[in-house]
Amino acid sequence: MLYIDNLSKFYGRFIAVNNLSLHVPEGDLFGFVGPNGAGKTTTIRMVCGLLCPDRGSIKIGGNSMSVYAEGVKNSLGYVPDFFGVYDNLKVKEYMEFYGSIYGIEDSAIARMTGDLLELVNLKNLEEQYVDTLSRGMKQRLCVARALLHNPKLLVLDEPSSGLDPRARIEMKEVLMNLNSMGKTIIISSHILSDIAEMCTSVGVMNKGVLAAAGKMEDILQLGVNRNHLIIEVGSSMEEAVRHVRELPEVIIDSVMENRIILNMQGDDLAVNRVMISLMTSGVVVRSFRREEQNLETLFMKLTGQAPAGQEASQGGR
Ligand SMILES: Nc1ncnc2c1ncn2[C@@H]1O[C@H](COP(=O)(O)OP(=O)(O)O)[C@@H](O)[C@H]1O
Ligand SMILES: [Mg+2]
């Protein structure tokens, strides 16, 4: 569906997107994650034809963005990271306004508006003034208008930014529903839990570079071949350490009071063998814990910083 090849963008001498290549297959719900300033918005704006790349190419549905720009733009819907100000405009007028930009007939817009509003959980709100909607509702209205021309690809830049938890869940449900209806979706976010829960594939961006990309399960596997095991010991520490040292493929990271932290390669069974070996050796094991590998720990490894938490995203703009 989307092919990005060696894409670069400079702002003056600063490189915001550095030689990025990426393929998003049809039907994917692709999450684009990375800290603020990573280059997500810049990439998305190039994908949507709003910003001209300095190098590289973008193809959507087999058509090059530069050559068939208008046709390509028609095949995608874009939800920007800001909503805009719409004084004295009703929801139905907002939809009419955008529908007319796409060249859709008034009668068709009116017909589609009801269906689209229902799809984004804004049923029967045609007569409501846009300015009176909550932030979450505005974001979903933005999704509805991006769907007016029935694009195959929907691109959303930080759609959950500044939303309260309930509004985030609603947005997530709308996007997962659209994806199940066959839309390919690209969503950028610095909120990892949203991405982890809804996306089928993910790209991690840092300082303009795509640090990792692929199917969610493959990406999570990247860090999984190394396990951190945290073992609390209730008997002689010396004996426990001696025993652990003799285990194959196990490296002791640190030893503190009654706790040993191990680093080892291998799958679940290999971890089980360590546990069994310790427990049958006479060492008293108070607890045996495996540090969880999730998108968050991977993000920290790849970007060297903690992801923004929920609190940080609630400030709004
Ligand atoms: N118009 C611009 N002029 C100069 N620098 C910019 C401009 N837009 C973005 N940048 C810089 O490019 C980098 C990437 O920005 P952006 O694509 O907005 O990242 P993200 O969306 O991941 O937060 C940032 O360091 C930002 O300061
Ligand atoms: Mg951004």
**315 — pLDDT class (breaks 50, 70, 90):** very low
b/e burial code for range 230-258 (CB count within 10 A of at least 16 → b): ebebeeebeebeebbeebeebeeeebeee
Reported as a single tens digit per residue, the pLDDT across 46-58 is 999 889 999 999 9
Beta carbons within 8 Å of 272's beta carbon, 6+ residues apart:
none
| More confident position, 180 or 265 | 180
Q: Which residues pair with 214 in a beta bridge?
A: 202
Q: Does the beta carbon of 206 lie inside 6 Å of ligand 1? A: no
Reported as a single tens digit per residue, the pLDDT across 196-250 is 889 999 998 999 999 889 998 788 766 555 677 889 998 888 888 988 888 887 8
C-alpha neighbours within 13 Å on the C-beta side of residue 118? 5
Point out the ligand nearest to the CA of residue 157.
2
**293 — pLDDT class (breaks 50, 70, 90):** low
Reported as a single tens digit per residue, the pLDDT across 250-281 is 888 888 888 998 888 777 788 888 888 888 88
Reported as a single tens digit per residue, the pLDDT across 119-143 is 999 999 999 999 999 999 999 999 9
Residue of minimum CA distance from atom 27 in ligand 1: 37
Which CATH code, of 3.30.70.100, 3.10.129.10, 3.40.50.720, 3.20.20.70, is assigned to 228-290?
A: 3.30.70.100
Distance CA 250, CA 307 (A): 30
Residue of minimum CA distance from atom 18 in ligand 1: 41
Is this prediction's pTM over 0.85? no
Q: Which of 38, 34, 36, 30 is nearest to 4 (CA)?
A: 30
Q: Could you tell me the distance, in angstroms and rounded to a whole number, from the CA of residue 39 to the centre of ligand 1?
A: 6
What value does the CA radius of gyration of the chain take, rounded to a whole number of Å?
A: 24
Domain 2-219 shares a fold with domain 228-290: no
Please state the rounded mean pLDDT for residues 102-130: 93
**pLDDT the model gives residue 39:** 95
Per-domain residue ranges for the chain? 2-219, 228-290
75 and 61 Cβ atoms separated by less than 8 Å = yes
**308 — pLDDT class (breaks 50, 70, 90):** low
Reported as a single tens digit per residue, the pLDDT across 59-83 is 998 778 775 567 777 889 999 988 8
Residue 316 confidence (pLDDT) above 50: no
**pLDDT the model gives residue 312:** 37
Which of 17, 41, 81, 158 has most ligand 1 atoms within 8 Å of CB, for mutation?
41
Residue of minimum CA distance from atom 12 in ligand 1: 16
Q: Is 267 exposed, middle or buried (0-12, 13-18, 19+ CB in 10 A)?
A: exposed
95 and 109 Cβ atoms separated by less than 8 Å = yes
CATH of domain 2-219: 3.40.50.300
Q: What percent of the chain has pLDDT over 90?
A: 50
Q: What percent of the chain has pLDDT over 70?
A: 91
**What is the side-by-side strand order in the sheet with 76-79?**
76-79, 153-157, 184-189, 29-33, 201-206, 209-215
Average pLDDT, the chain: 86
Q: Does the beta carbon of 37 lie inside 6 Å of ligand 1? A: yes
